[in-house]
Structure 1
Amino acid sequence: MARNNTITLYDLQLESGCTISPYVWRTKYALKHKGFDIDIVPGGFTGILERTGGRSERVPVIVDDGEWVLDSWVIAEYLDEKYPDRPMLFEGPTQKNLMKFLDNWLWSTAVGPWFRCYILDYHDLSLPQDRDYVRWSREQWFLGGQRLEDVQAGREDRLPLVPPTLEPFRRILAETKWLGGDQPNFADYSALAVFLWTASVARTPPLTEDDPLRDWLDRGFDLFDGLGRHPGMNPLFGLKLREGDPEPFVRQTGPAGAGGQALNKGPQTTKMPPRVAEKAD
């Protein structure tokens, strides 16, 4: 049982003190969802093995009254299993599978492109003692030897391409307050973590001012006394579009059904456009 209702969390921080890891972000939210106070152990990309006493080279890591738990997903499952009397993060194995699908979709749709758009910012905002490691590891492990500067260059052409791909996510949130229904759950925290990570490094906004995701994001950042409102965060909204850029989102005129089509409420709502007469030769 957590001593004094407090669980220790090993963080991953930038020079500003802001958390950069989406996995740490969702663990922070999971702990608060369960009603715990968090004892933060600060630190950056280097020295994690030393900080954790040789137990892990990656974070998040929590310590619950002497019990060490690694990996954000395992931590969430642990919290539900050990504290079932507190609000649940998951509601059964089916929901876990759907959440894993959402995770994978968001990472391929948003995180991958944004990672390349903000990779030099990612480096520049890191703790000074971490920057050599960040440059070497990202260039060698993730970028195939390309320089950070070369990968980030031209992002003004690529950033407008990402918002339209988030349309399925907007359609879900147009129909429900939270991914978890009336209340947020680990699905919300996992998705919010993607945008929290982005806000930690995005020195150029990735979303337009009028993006419908703003409502859900603002409410999510405000949860738990403004957990996502660290002063080191950058604005998510303010992307300026240029002539020829794609529309950032579909402007909904009513509730959507399966596949984004209008809900079928009878023949008047599902009329096909009139057939155009073919021209005679």
Structure 2
Amino acid sequence: MLELYQFEGSHYSEKVRLILDYKQLPYRKVEVAPGVGQIDLYRMSGQRQVPVLKDENEVIPDSTAIAHYLDEKYPERPILPTTPTERGLCLIMEAWADESIGLNARTAMIGAFNQHPNFRTALLPASTPELLKSLVGAVPGDVLSLLGTGIGFGTEAVKAAHGILQQNLAALRLLLQERPYLVGEQPTLADFAVAGLSMYIKFPDKQYVDLPDGICGKGVPGLADDPAYRPFFSWRDRLYADYREVRVPTTAETVGSGPQSISID
């Protein structure tokens, strides 16, 4: 069985999970423990970042490389177009999603986490004691922003990311006005990249990802709740409803199962 080494909350891992669900490939999620688990991951794959796919003796790091591997090894329900123009557009859009939406969405989400206590506490597990939730929500946002400045998540960086994402969402809304998918008449890698990497802008409306119940449908204020971008998020929700498996708590090692502890041979 395919094994996906991942962080459950990683939007690049979510991009791969969307593809696996679309292709209807059973897989086991292996949750990598930050730090120690990443050292083990390096021994297996030569790098520390998730996602990494293991298919028997094949080990494939990086979400883009995984997508290409899956389409070649498991060609049913293809995600890469065959015509040169559509294939080229698909690859360009996927690279744009990785570099622009993926990176800026992470910055914008951390900014929202800093400045909006309700969004901050919604990310905590449901089992978190109320006292701890209150303490987390009470930390001043200015303090968190100051702490984030030195690592690229300060106020100016968040503002710039927010502006870039506004342009991205406006462009996506226009592209989807008269077509069902971003490239052609069938979903492609471009669609799954955009859908998965926009998770940090607004989380899906159902619990497709093993995150706290309260986070479903929430997102970055000023983006997730802007009526101008509602058509895009409606499109994304339909894509999820059509192709993504809703998470069902189970110990079975199948699509939708909870992440397992890392164990690398």
| TM-score range relative to shorter protein | 0.5 to 0.7
Matching residue's letter, 1:102: M
The aligned residue for residue 151 of structure 1 is: 154
The aligned residue for residue 194 of structure 1 is: 197
- The yes-or-no answer on 1:31 pairing with 2:31 is no
Max Rg structure: 1
- Deviation of residue 213 (structure 1)? 0.9
Q: C-alpha offsets along residues 80-123 of structure 1, whole Å, 9 cap, x if unaligned?
A: 22223x11111235444322322344456544544333235679
CA–CA distance in 2 between the matches of 1:188 and 1:196? 13
The aligned residue for residue 236 of structure 2 is: 217
The aligned residue for residue 40 of structure 2 is: 50
- Deviation of residue 159 (structure 1)? 4.2
Matched-pair contact (CA < 8 Å) for 1:9–1:63 = yes
User: What TM-score, normalized by structure 2, do the two folds share?
Assistant: 0.61
The aligned residue for residue 69 of structure 2 is: 78
User: What TM-score, normalized by structure 1, do the two folds share?
Assistant: 0.58
- Deviation of residue 52 (structure 1)? 6.0
Q: C-alpha offsets along residues 157-212 of structure 1, whole Å, 9 cap, x if unaligned?
A: 98477435532221211111122433312111011122123335945362314522
Matched residue pairs, number?
202
The aligned residue for residue 12 of structure 1 is: 7
The aligned residue for residue 176 of structure 2 is: 173
Matching residue's letter, 2:243: F
- The yes-or-no answer on 1:87 pairing with 2:77 is yes
Q: Assess, with a 3 A threshold, how the Cα gap between structure 1 residues 179 and 119 changes in structure 2: closer, same or farther.
A: same
CA–CA distance in 1 between the matches of 2:48 and 2:161? 33
Moved more, 151-160 or 177-186: 151-160
Matched-pair contact (CA < 8 Å) for 2:52–2:61 = yes
> What SS does the corresponding residue of 2:180 show, helix, strand or coil?
coil
Matching residue's letter, 1:8: E
CA–CA distance in 2 between the matches of 1:151 and 1:21? 21
Q: Please give the root-mean-square deviation of Cα atoms over the aligned residues, in Å.
A: 3.9
Matched-pair contact (CA < 8 Å) for 2:86–2:184 = no
Q: Out of 30, 34, 49, which is 1:41 matched to?
A: 30
Q: Percent identity?
A: 21
Q: Assess, with a 3 A threshold, how the Cα gap between structure 1 residues 121 and 44 changes in structure 2: closer, same or farther.
A: farther
Q: C-alpha offsets along residues 197-234 of structure 1, whole Å, 9 cap, x if unaligned?
A: 3335945362314522132111122233545999xxxx
Q: Name the structure where helix makes up a greater proportion of residues.
A: 2
Matched-pair contact (CA < 8 Å) for 1:170–1:213 = yes
Matching residue's letter, 2:221: T
